[in-house]
Structure 1
């Protein structure tokens, strides 16, 4: 999978999520998706390659990095709580969509209950089923 496809799959999933909005707070070279003003997804380029940066649970982050060579610590982010997805390797659309959903839900969990656009305990992958469309 190339960088364009990687970012397009992640973008399409982010656009489906309740209250998610695309912004450019760091300038025209960085697309950022936020929920209720909190970032959960960043698109950027590293050494000419388009990548996706996502929030991840630290335990999941470590396991993902061990299992997938194209998943690395978050580029210019807290390496414990963020991961980067690079093109190539065996990353597939289902995994990318799941990781975007999980990133979104981690941010939603941190919001005050009254501001949460969804219940993170029953939405998408957290409910034990497939991520919601």
Structure 2
């Protein structure tokens, strides 16, 4: 997977926006103004940060060598996944879906209804 495919996948999710709030290299995807994925525009291979259920986050780190504690994020709630390494793209995209859903589920009901989630 390349950054463009990743970007298109994230942006296809209802209510998703992209932004570079930290610097011009860090691309952040949000739903309802809350982050669910981020990556480096210039070095996509360095990792994608995804929100994750804390218990599952630990399990994935133990099971996959390309899943690390979230870089510059809460290690409890975020994982960094090295794309194109030890997991197929389909599984990575499932984790993107799960990250998006975790964040979307915590939005106020009115906001969820407005964006269609």
TM norm structure 1: 0.77
Gaps of 5+ in 1: 120-133
Deviation at 1:25, TM superposition (A): 0.5
Q: Output aligned runs, 1:40-119, within 5 Å.
A: 40-44=36-40, 49-116=45-112, 117-119=115-117
Cα RMSD after superposing both structures: 2.0
Cα deviation per residue 1:84-125 (whole Å; 9 max; x = unaligned)? 011453211111110111101000111111111344xxxxxx
Which of 2, 5, 8 is matched with 1:12 structurally?
8
Deviation at 1:18, TM superposition (A): 0.2
Gaps of 5+ in 2: none
CA distance in 2 between counterparts of 1:13 and 1:110 reads 21
TM norm structure 2: 0.87
CA contact (8 A) 2:2 2:44 kept: no
Q: How many residues align?
A: 114
